[in-house]
Amino acid sequence: MAGIYVHVPFCKSKCRYCDFTSFPDKIGFAESYMTCVYREMLMRKEELSSYVFDTLYIGGGTPSVIDESYIAMLVAAAKKYFNLSKNAEITIEINPGTVSASKIELYKQCGINRFSVGLQSAVDSQLKDLGRCHGLNEFFACAKLLRGENFSVDVMIGLKGQSLGDIEKTIEVAAGSGASHISMYALTPEDGTPIFTDYLNGELPDGDEVAEMYAFGVKKLRGLGYERYEVSNFCKKGKESRHNLNYWQRGEYIGFGVSASSHIKNVRFTNTFDLDEYFKCILTNHLPVIDREEVDRDGQKEESIMLALRTAKGLDITAFDAEFGTDFLGDYKSAIEKNEKYLEISDGHLRIKDEYLFVQNTIICDFLS
Ligand SMILES: C[S@@+](CC[C@H](N)C(=O)[O-])C[C@H]1O[C@@H](n2cnc3c(N)ncnc32)[C@H](O)[C@@H]1O
Ligand code: SF4
């Protein structure tokens, strides 16, 4: 299984916490940019002719902020240049306040069958504080347009002044909208973003408070029928994001557009983060790759462990041993014993116990050389 990711680096405005590659002031370049993306796809057509792609993920940035015709052309280009499987999952990220009935209609017509909506919080003052370009009412309007569709909602915990009651309300709003999938992210105060100052000023909840918010959120989501399948991802039965599952299974994917990363034939590579450089490369018929790293056997093992232990299912021990010719339980005996309290083995899988999944990083470190 393999996936395609396309990065659309435009937003209405920049949220205070965000360090994703997005240029709110360069939206006028959307047409030239998308033309370059179609061209980049064409440049990779031959090399990827043997692949069957099972997912296409249009992310950002805010793909829904640009004219919908560019998105329709993007899906058409992906179908024309690559073997996209018949029942491929085709997702687009959308932001409330940037959609209309006709936009959603065209998305559906061109084959998009999954939507990911950024709500973040159901409390207007928190949305304002995050610098979001929408209020709760725009989310309700957006959810109405998506009624009956397969969609996910992003929410955040660890926000300034956020109470457990606020989290409860946010999750209830997300679930009540009819979402089949909810992602619950703990706010990461990224250095260089305005919110980092709030963090330095001690205005954000501390680690213990966030852990409490997370445990509360998990319980609430479960009560509403959303099972956790990865640290930050929850869904109704069978509604996992196939695109993200592929990432966690160390699957192959190709990324197009600025800052997009790829993993093909055990090589990880990343495109330039600079919009001008991206244009320059494509217009001179060069691939915009700035970083390329071959993952050796040990690296592959480490990645497999790291990614699998983020998931609720855990690491398939037999599959790991078959892939790498190892004896996993013997080779990692000391790491397993050291973390005995946090781990469990059942159905041939090693996994981090439910209650410790949120703090998986420290546990995972013991499995890395
Ligand atoms: C690229 S954004 C997705 C879509 C769209 N641009 C939006 O914001 O609605 C992906 C998600 O990552 C999460 N996110 C972004 N920056 C984050 C941060 N610093 N800490 C935690 N989550 C973050 C947000 O929940 C956001 O919805
Ligand atoms: S809308 Fe999304 S991508 Fe754009 S700035 Fe906000 S969080 Fe970042």
Per-residue pLDDT tens for 218-245? 999 999 999 999 999 999 999 999 999 9
Answer yes or no: is the C-beta of 187 below 6 A from any ligand 1 atom: yes
Give the Cα separation of 218 and 271 in Å (integer): 35
Give tens-digit pLDDT for 39-70: 999 999 999 999 999 999 999 999 999 999 99
Q: Two tokens at 74?
A: 């993007």
The single residue listed with the structure tokens 């990865």 is: 230
pTM over 0.85: yes
Q: Is there a domain that residue 335 lies in?
A: yes
Q: Is there a domain that residue 264 lies in?
A: no
21 C-alpha to ligand 2 centroid (Å): 9
Domain co-membership, 239 together with 327? no
Say if residues 8 and 66 touch (Cβ distance below 8 Å). yes
Answer yes or no: is the C-beta of 18 below 6 A from any ligand 2 atom: yes
Which 3 state secondary structure label does DSSP give 274?
coil
Instruction: Determine the atom of ligand 1 nearest the C-alpha atom of 188.
Output: 20
CB burial string 260-277: b at 16+ within 10 A, e below: bebbbeeeebbbbbebee
18 C-alpha to ligand 1 centroid (Å): 7
Domain co-membership, 228 together with 129? yes
Answer yes or no: is the C-beta of 21 below 6 A from any ligand 2 atom: no
Instruction: Determine the atom of ligand 2 nearest the C-alpha atom of 17.
Output: 7
Counting ligands in written order, which one lies closest to the CA of residue 5?
Answer: 1
Domain co-membership, 228 together with 317? no
CATH code of the domain in which 70 resides: 3.20.20.70
Q: Kindly state the average pLDDT of the residues 102-118.
A: 97
Q: Is there a domain that residue 269 lies in?
A: no
212 C-alpha to ligand 2 centroid (Å): 26
Give tens-digit pLDDT for 125-156: 999 999 999 999 999 999 999 999 999 999 99
Distances from the Cα of 230 to the Cα of 59, 157, 185, 244, 276, angstroms: 19, 16, 11, 10, 36
DSSP-assigned states of every residue in 166-235: HHHHHHHHHHHTT-SEEEEEEP---TTSHHHHHHHTT-S--HHHHHHHHHHHHHHHHHTT-EEEETTEEE
Q: Is there a domain that residue 253 lies in?
A: no
Nearest Cα neighbor of 316 from 358, 347, 274 is 347
Domain co-membership, 240 together with 322? no
Give the Cα separation of 33 and 65 in Å (integer): 14
The residue whose CA has the least distance to atom 27 of ligand 1 is: 118
User: Which residues have C-beta within 8 Å of that of residue 65, sequence separation ≥ 6?
Assistant: 8, 10, 11, 12, 27, 95, 98
Domain co-membership, 192 together with 324? no
Q: Two tokens at 11?
A: 């937003």
Q: Kindly state the average pLDDT of the residues 68-73.
A: 98
Give tens-digit pLDDT for 243-268: 999 999 999 999 999 999 999 999 99
Nearest Cα neighbor of 260 from 239, 232, 281, 245 is 281
Counting ligands in written order, which one lies closest to the CA of residue 22?
Answer: 2
Domain co-membership, 213 together with 324? no
Q: Is there a domain that residue 274 lies in?
A: no
Instruction: Determine the atom of ligand 2 nearest the C-alpha atom of 61.
Output: 3
Question: Would strands 114-120 and 151-157 be described as parallel, antiparallel, or unpaired?
Answer: parallel
Domain co-membership, 322 together with 181? no
E strand residue ranges, the chain = 2-8, 52-60, 83-94, 114-120, 151-157, 181-186, 227-230, 233-235, 252-256, 261-264, 267-271, 289-294, 315-316, 343-346, 349-352
Q: Is there a domain that residue 281 lies in?
A: no
- Tell me the average pLDDT of the chain: 96
Domain co-membership, 74 together with 216? yes
126 C-alpha to ligand 1 centroid (Å): 14
Indicate the number of domains in the chain. Answer: 2
Residue type (1 letter), 119: L
Q: Kindly state the average pLDDT of the residues 178-204.
A: 96
Domain co-membership, 35 together with 146? yes
Answer yes or no: is the C-beta of 196 below 6 A from any ligand 1 atom: no
**What pLDDT band is residue 356 in, cutting at 50, 70 and 90?**
confident
CA angle, corner 363, sides to 18 and 19, nearest 5? 10
User: Ligand 1 pocket: which of 5, 185, 213 to mutate (most atoms <8 Å of CB)?
Assistant: 185
**What pLDDT band is residue 368 in, cutting at 50, 70 and 90?**
confident
Backbone torsions φ then ψ of 92, nearest 5 degrees: -130, 135
- Confidence check: pLDDT of 359 > 80: no
Answer yes or no: is the C-beta of 170 below 6 A from any ligand 1 atom: no
Q: Which domain holds residue 344?
A: 313-365
- Confidence check: pLDDT of 369 > 70: no
Backbone torsions φ then ψ of 188, nearest 5 degrees: -105, 115
Domain co-membership, 227 together with 324? no
Which residue, of 202, 231, 246, is where some domain finishes? Answer: 246
Domain co-membership, 242 together with 327? no
The residue whose CA has the least distance to atom 9 of ligand 1 is: 118
Q: Is there a domain that residue 267 lies in?
A: no
286 C-alpha to ligand 2 centroid (Å): 28
The residue whose CA has the least distance to atom 6 of ligand 2 is: 15
Which residue, of 246, 266, 294, is where some domain finishes? Answer: 246
Which residue, of 209, 229, 246, is where some domain finishes? Answer: 246
Which 3 state secondary structure label does DSSP give 75?
helix
Measured between its terminal Cα atoms, the distance across the chain in Å is: 28
Q: Kindly state the average pLDDT of the residues 347-355.
A: 91
Domain co-membership, 190 together with 338? no
% of the chain exceeding 70 in pLDDT: 100
Nearest Cα neighbor of 311 from 339, 342, 351, 251 is 351
Answer yes or no: is the C-beta of 20 below 6 A from any ligand 2 atom: yes
Answer yes or no: is the C-beta of 275 below 6 A from any ligand 1 atom: no
Distances from the Cα of 281 to the Cα of 28, 108, 139, 277, angstroms: 19, 32, 38, 6
Q: CA torsion sign, 178 to 180 to 186 to 190? A: negative
Q: Is there a domain that residue 286 lies in?
A: no
Give the Cα separation of 54 and 343 in Å (integer): 32
Q: Kindly state the average pLDDT of the residues 91-96.
A: 97
